[in-house]
Chain A
């Protein structure tokens, strides 16, 4: 068994490629400043975005290093079963693209943010409440990006950990500068260039994975580790999880602010629909391709390992104690040095012992949880360690350039998305006076800066309660369920009222919040589905109990400007 750690072959050449790509992005992003005159130019590029640039912008915003990491982690822990999420994404994109469900009506209203619709339909209070929850959930969601992405960069480039904070700060500042100055116009142009880098990086890494372990190696690794569970998503993830994912992806594709902003920026509703059909296949790749990297990493490290031998203790409980103690001594060091082939069999052994002992001992559940958490930690870092071990100089620089492009475009897109919510839907309505276009522009730029500071701090203080994929989905779910329900209800149900919308937001958000408090130990699928069920129940009950004072036909297109309040 190899005991030496992995050393990345990242060289000056690789560093130069990565830095040049960053400088080029910043230069392009700053060149467009002269086109920004109004808040419409700033937030939705004067609604002039075409189909292909729109698709590139949408995907590069929704793909960052963190996306690659959590999808790879999901593939590592769930095997091919994880692919079901990619198929759901494709199906939802095609459905939205073909029917124009929600997006066509919102695009025709010429709004800038989703909560703006709530003011037109339900009144100012609902707009502010939705804005607060969106800004809160969105910022929490964004808040773990830097720390996870820093770990990727540290592993792949070999940057010493004491410089990581500065590296991430530099990346955030690059994104901050051109987003704050050039807004959506900068984003569209830089996203296009970044997309080319990220697509090239994605293809290179996939080919490297296939060359390294091959498809059959991945199949063998999943069979050996997970058996049928690694292939059958219903057995592995359960119907509840799949149902929640369907609902969540419908919401993400229609009312998630950074996605909705791309819809609002298109030339017209027809381009918006085509953009979703086209990006459906890109979103399929966004999920499946990094999941394959995760499975390849499992096969790679499993192939280098030797089975762990159970200690010769008298009882199974004592055996579990000993393996857990051994892991406690070596796990962190092995993880930090890339010796995953040593950590993985130990974790596997602990999990096997705990599962066998579970029917007889309550204590076994604790060891099973401990093994699962450690497997999740290995899963998060296995893919970058594999890249560091296998990619040669030159190629490594191209891949890092692609990953940095993916990451910065995501920061930039999310900065603009969440800061526009804070400025347009929380601060401006609470001031209760009309702000000039220039003041709104300044306010949005200030919130971009504030948001950057927040995520740097949050990233340093928060401990994840489980896999990154679940955390990200639950923080999104905090407001996605009630937002989609209140939008769909408002568009298609005459009796929808502000009381229903408020109840929906309060009840929907509370369940997702429960998952984020580790001591409550709420299961992720339960939190997700309960959040949707309560959001629907609250919306229907509130609307029926306190109907709107003025009942009108559901607003369509320009007619959406009328206000209906309860």
Chain B
């Protein structure tokens, strides 16, 4: 469309817009809209990264399934020590080799990148070996179940300048949350007062298994000795995302935990609450339970001008009566939440209007945060990998400083790095410790630093 052309608005569109405007005197949904893609762009395969997936539990298989939907990924090897999981993994990636030893994936020169989805306490050995083998690494979060292991992984990733390392903090790659980040950082919600996150899902976490050995391996999340429990397996994503929005590191964490419902021999709490304190006084409460499903999972950021609620791929803003008028919100869609009205926050809404695409009630980005996280990872692997290849083909490997300078100037997709992975892991480990002790723990600035 020529930029000088005007968007034609017929009578029905106009009435629809006006009706929307009149309806919108309540809550506004904050929704990032999907950018328009040309048909030919959708069919183009710009590159393919040859991947190996290590760890084929439920989440590992979800990763394999997600990679199979990404045209830029080619899963050529999968690995698990348990034959039944390996079989399910190879079924999900029919053109892949099924291996029972991760070292065979690392030895395979064709594998460019690996995704590590094993139990958390096994990450260190595999991640260090993968980086040593020159592979690009996507390592699930938390990076490890101890500060020492997390630091070892992060430092190895920092040193591997020619490789991409991305922790599995998928909320940071979610386009809707990226849109909200800019919105919040621009001051749309005012001064941060507090934040709240919850995850409610009635489920046991215990999986059935054919023998005691397998039972122990399979249910590692219930083992206090190696698992960070709900803080590490679930809440880490919300703690990290909200700290990201608050643009601060907490100075203390207080935790509480109880085993209320699933008294099946486990000692891991099935219900936890954590309170993080931030410089300036803002607090984040984060609660999780395996004993009740009411209201599922969401995050809310409370500011002096508005509260912003994020639920899956959607978000809404609830404005204070004395908050300044932003202007656009009168045109936005609004949804009712009991006595509150939420203004839908939709990313790229203005751009879409210019392209005459009509707004719908559907969520703009329908893929999962994991999809976008892996998409960013693959794009960055291609950018860094091809840059290293082309640079060394022309200038050799002698001038390391020049190569690092060249790599540092490459524009990468926004994605979390080793530092952010380490910091999120520190949050989860400290929260888990606070829950176990039922106490308040100070978090020093040094606790988040890699030295």
A and B are partners in one complex rather than unrelated chains: no
